[in-house]
Structure formats: C-alpha cells, structure tokens
Structure 1
Amino acid sequence: MNSKWKKVFAMGLISTVLLAATGCGGNTDTQSSGSGETAKNDKVIIGQSSWIGFAPLYIAEEKGFFKKHGADVEIQSIESKTDSKTALAADRIQGISTDMSTQVMNAAAGIDLTQILALDTSAGGDGIVAKKEYKIIEDLKGKKIALDTTGGADYFWFQYLLQQKGMTLKDFDVQNMSAGDAGAAFVAGKVDAAITWQPWLSKAEKTDFGHTLMDSNATPGVIVDTFAMKKSYIKEHPQAAKAIVAGWYEALEYMKTNNDDAIAIIAKRVGEKPENVKDELKDVKFYDQAGNKEYFGTADQKGEFYKITAIAAKLWKDLGLVDKDVNADSIIDGSFLDPQ
C-alpha cells in the first residue's frame, strides 16, 4: 500500500506493538548533546504513521543518530490518529509525529503538548482534482465535490483556501468520504471534483476529463507535519527533546550524502519498493535547521508557523470539531532548534 494512503484516517488499526509498550519512567540524569553517550533515562517512544514525511526519523533511529546525541529512541507504528492521541495521553508514547492541525486537535482535547520541530510540508502531494472545464475554485460553486469532512490535513487545507476566497463548504454539494475514496470517485466520474492526494492526482491527470486544479505547491507551510511532546516530559527530559531534533537534522544530511542507503532504510520500514519511496519523496519538502528557524521565527518576529497554527485552532473551534480554544503560543516551542 502506498504510504500516502496510510497518512490520515486508518482509524480501525491499532498497533500491537503499541499495546505492549510501557510508559516513561521517572527522572534521571542525562548526558550532554553530542557526547556519544546515551541519556540515562528510559527509552523514548515516538508514535507515527508510515507517511513518507516522517521517514527521516527512521534513518535517525537506524543509524544511531538519536543515541549519538543522547537519547534511546524507539519509533512505533501507529496508523490511526485516534490511537496515537490515546497513547500520548496515557504516556505510552512520549512523542508524536502528525500534521499540525491534528496536533491542535490533540491539544484541544486536553493533552498538554508542544510542537518542537517542523518535519515536512506537502509539496504537491495534496491537491484538488476537477473536470477540465473548471479552472479555479470559484468554478466549483454548486458542483459535487468529494472531501473528508471529519478533519485532517486536506480538510484543513481546503478550508484554508476557502477562507482566502470568502467561501464556505455551503457553496458546494459536498460528498463526505475519505481522501482516497474521494480520488477514486473522481476518477470514476462520480463527482465533479475531489480534494485528495497522490496517487490520485496523477491518476486524475491520466483521465481524458480531469486535471489538477491546484496542489499544495501553491501553499507551502500550510499542510505541515510536526513533532510534538508532552510539556511535562520535556521538562523532566530536555536532553531527549534536543537529541530528537539533532537526530532529525543529521538524518536529513545523511539523505543527501548516502541517498541509496537512506532510501533502502525507508523502504524497509514502510514496506515499499525503493523506487516508490523515491517517487513519494518528491511530494514533500523537509524542514532542516534553517527551514525550521525560518518557519518558527523568533520571539520578536514570530514565523508563519504561529499564523497557520492559530488559523487551525480557530477553524476547528468555529466548525465545532473542538470545544476548547488553543493558543498557538502555548503549543509551539522553538527553544530546541539549536540542540547543541
């Protein structure tokens, strides 16, 4: 299965490994970053789906980059967002990789988390496919569009686009279905447009009636995945947070200098062929240290991250998907971007 299909809503799957996992233990001393010694605290467990945007974390685990910087990290596969939220709330995992809009939902549900690292932004992997006669979003008014309205990155992205144009979902004949089903429905000619992801964008282009009306390349930094941890855990184990950030940076460098090995590691972890992994990597742009610093900004000049997070928080509240206000400042912490 293409990992893009697994990204958002495999709600019925529960990782058996997760159920066997235990939570974090008590306080212990840690070693300084880059010392080459593992932190003297319990294993740090990260929960994430097999979405390609999280893949460099597999490399950091496999190549020992986390341990090099002072943390014993284990990545567990949890495809369902509900299961990962539950695991984080119960301290069965200490960190979570998911899209920013879901991090906001988790915070609104009462999980006292903070995002310490931006991982990737969609760079053409998500989009709107439509019949060729429709050239802009406004052309779809009153038309039948397929969209997953339960939340998630693509739903947030489409709502973001509509806000920019002063439009709402009421302007369309919305058919609620998962992003994969939405793409399939469009290719089958059952709807006029769909908000979906790869490989359905490419499949739509191959039909004689469809095209990609817009993709996520037009809105960098809006569909973004982040890494978050509970604030209580970071307070007790700041070295673990630093090690994960440093390991991520090193993994991105490794992908540049040892690409074949990096691809092989990812392919093994997500259960795909190396050539498929290469294709999927084209749909994302990873945030390195410089990219993170720009996206986070500074205390005096906050970056785009704060704006997009605030939009997600307000949108979910306005739509009734959450009932608690979430302040962007309270769930973003850029203090670990310089881990050394």
Structure 2
Amino acid sequence: MESRGLKMKRSMSSLSRLLLAAAVCSAAFCLPAQAAPRKEFNVAWSIYVGWMPWPYAEQAGIVKKWGDKYGIKINITQINDYVESINQYTAGKFDGVTVTNMDALTIPAAGGVDTTALIVGDYSNGNDGVILKNAKSLTDIKGQNVNLVEFSVSHYLLARALSSVGLAEKDIKTVNTSDADIVSAYKAEDTTALVTWNPQLSEINSEPTAHMVFDSSKIPGEIIDTLAVNTKTLQQNPALGKALVGIWFDTLKLMQDPVKGKAAREAMAKLSGSSLASFEGQLKTTKLFYTPAEAVSFTTDPKLVQTMDLVRSFSFDHGLLGQNVGNKDVVGIAFPGTATLGDTKNIKLRFDATYMKMAADGKL
C-alpha cells in the first residue's frame, strides 16, 4: 500500500531547487498583472487517508456540482509520486495540491511560490510512527540505521521522537528509502528501524517482530495535511476557493451520513487500494476536521504559530529552506489575523481561514 505518494522524496538537492526556481518564474509568476478570471483549474492529489475525499468527490459528482455553482471546471488529478505532485504544482502545472504543512514550506514556499493553505483538513494522530524490529523501547534506536523518506514528515517525526528520550540525530544514521519501498525494506534482514505513515505503517506493524515505539499522537497537531493553492491564482479567482472548500466539506459531511457514509468510505478505501477495515482504522488515527468550524478553530489557534516555528526550525537545520540561507526567517509565514513568522517582506506561505469561515457561516 502506498500513501502521501507512491514514490516520494520530500528532499531536494540545491541544484534541483535552483532549476525549479527558474521554472517557477516562467510558469507561475510571468502572468499578466490583471489576468482575466479563469474557467478551468487543475488540482493534484496523492494517496493518503486524509486526502481520499478528493477523488471520491470527483467520482460522486460533488466536484462538478460545486464547479457548476461557480461557473468553473475543476480537474482532480492523481499523481502517483507525492513529491512529484508538489514539484509540478511549484512549476505551475497545477493550481493546487494536497500537501503537508512542512512540505508546503520547504518546496513551493522555499522555492519562491506564494502558496496558501486553503483547507486545513486534518492532522496525523497516530498515522505516522517509528517502528523497531525486535525491540520495544525507543531508546533502543541508538546506534541503528533508520529507514525513512529523508527530509520528510517522517524525518521530522524521528527528530521529535529522539528529542523526547534525550537523543539526537547524531545518535542514529538515516537511510533514505522511498515510501514505495518501505514495506519491502522492513523485510530485509539488516533493517532494524524505520519511520513511515499509513497504510504502510499498519502493514509493517502487523509483523510479529515489529514494535511501534513512537507515533504522531505524541505530537498532536504538528503533522498537518492541507490543500494548498497558488496565492495569486486564488486572489484572481475567488470562485476557485469557494468551490474547493464547498467540495471538501460537502464530502466530509457525506462521510458521516448514517446511511450513505459507509458507501462513501468503502469507495475511498477502494480508491486508495485498502480494505474498508484498514481505511477506517487509518481514519481513527487521523484527526479530520469534519466541520468547517473545527478547521477554522484549529487554523486560528495561536498553537499553529508555535507548530510552524518548530517545523521551520527543523527545515532550516536540515538545509531545506534554500542554499546559503543564514537563518530560519528567510521564508515568511502568515497566519489568520496579524501573526507572522519570518521575513514579512517575503511571505510565501499563508494559512488563510477566510474560505473555511465562509463555509462555517453558511456563506458559500
């Protein structure tokens, strides 16, 4: 099973960042200042429990329903490689993308693309975990090779786990392993530790030798899943924001319907390559914001600023904010109200509750 991408990387070499930055200028920012409102938009998604409402919404006609309401067409496209979906968004090939808070910061925002977290959909509440083979204590990880997608939320989770027991990354060695290969990697005789997310996490944890010694429920609210869109596109086309938020919460409402909800979840499970039981198990370790009011409350909570400070600190320490960057303030982050982090003259990541609040207030 594969999630948050079928072959994911979330790390980028300095060279690839430079090449991507060049592509960004030509693809995303060299647009007429007063571009006419568009009628067609493209959103990329990849497999992860918290993002499966998107393909289901398309399948169920919910995407078309809201597109028709605002006179636009929205194409929902699956990209098998999670990080490739973000790279394509960053290069201007998509108007929006399903992405975690950390990856939104370290790829498009750090690459110069002004990006808005339009929908804060959920946070991992046990969907990401650290597993040891034949060992039951997190302290046993010291001195081991740890397989994971380097510089991803898995890497972030590992850093937070290590700090919780007085260890640091110098006490282990990371082994970059694609999410597509992480299950088979566990079965290799020399693999003793790994970090991954669901559904791979559940599959590996079912092995008799596997022991999950730390998971994201220990750091609630830090690994956040969003739908992010290009800020300029959103500003020029508010209908896109309204339609996307309408689609999302319409679908989540359907998931909870006592009659239709099971069928919707079964369809999402099938689309993700999981059984209904497995999918519902993953939902239990995902804190989905089923109502727009919940999402607004989370996004406007000052704790989000603290979380993003942790995330940007990790990103800076691992060289993910760009080449020759002097400090973690290089990329500005804006939050609802007046709160910001970093360079206020270089705001490139925005958490905006405006459209979610419209949904909460019944104004879509």
Question: Under a length normalisation based on structure 1, what TM-score does the superposition of the two structures give?
Answer: 0.79
What's 1:15 paired with?
A: none
CA distance in 2, matches of 1:214, 1:238: 41
How big is the shift at 1:269?
4.1
Over aligned residue pairs, what C-alpha RMSD do you find? 3.0
Distance 1:74 1:203, change over 3 A: closer
How big is the shift at 1:187?
4.2
CA distance in 2, matches of 1:95, 1:200: 25
- Contact 1:125/1:283, CA 8 A, preserved across alignment: yes
- Contact 2:126/2:216, CA 8 A, preserved across alignment: yes
- Contact 2:53/2:252, CA 8 A, preserved across alignment: yes
**What aligned pairs does 1:261-280 form with structure 2 within 5 A after superposition?**
261-267=263-269, 269-270=271-272, 274=276, 276-280=278-282
Q: Does 1:328 align with 2:322?
A: no
**What aligned pairs does 1:10-159 form with structure 2 within 5 A after superposition?**
26-28=35-37, 41-61=38-58, 62-64=60-62, 65-67=65-67, 70=70, 71-105=72-106, 106-136=108-138, 138-149=139-150, 151-159=151-159
How big is the shift at 1:223?
1.8
Unmatched 5+ stretches in structure 1: 12-21, 29-40
What's 1:295 paired with?
A: 298
What's 2:22 paired with?
A: none
1:40-88 CA-to-partner distances (Å, cap 9, x unmatched) read: x412211111222111223433333533652432201123344323432
Among all aligned residue pairs of Structure 1 and Structure 2, give the percentage whose two residues are the same amino acid: 22
The AA in structure 1 aligned to 2:225 is D
How big is the shift at 1:166?
5.2
CA distance in 1, matches of 2:285, 2:191: 25
1:138-195 CA-to-partner distances (Å, cap 9, x unmatched) read: 332223322332x222112222333455542111133332345445444444233211
Distance 1:110 1:165, change over 3 A: farther
How big is the shift at 1:256?
0.7
Q: Which stretch of the first structure deviates more once superposed, 46-55 or 272-281?
A: 272-281
- Contact 1:147/1:175, CA 8 A, preserved across alignment: yes
Q: Does 1:337 align with 2:326?
A: no
CA distance in 2, matches of 1:205, 1:272: 16
Where 1:328 maps in the other structure, the secondary structure is strand
Number of aligned residue pairs: 311
- Contact 1:296/1:334, CA 8 A, preserved across alignment: yes
What's 1:318 paired with?
A: 317
CA distance in 1, matches of 2:204, 2:271: 29
Question: Under a length normalisation based on structure 2, what TM-score does the superposition of the two structures give?
Answer: 0.74
Unmatched 5+ stretches in structure 2: 11-26, 335-346
CA distance in 2, matches of 1:108, 1:92: 17
1:256-295 CA-to-partner distances (Å, cap 9, x unmatched) read: 1121331354246445555554444344231232321222
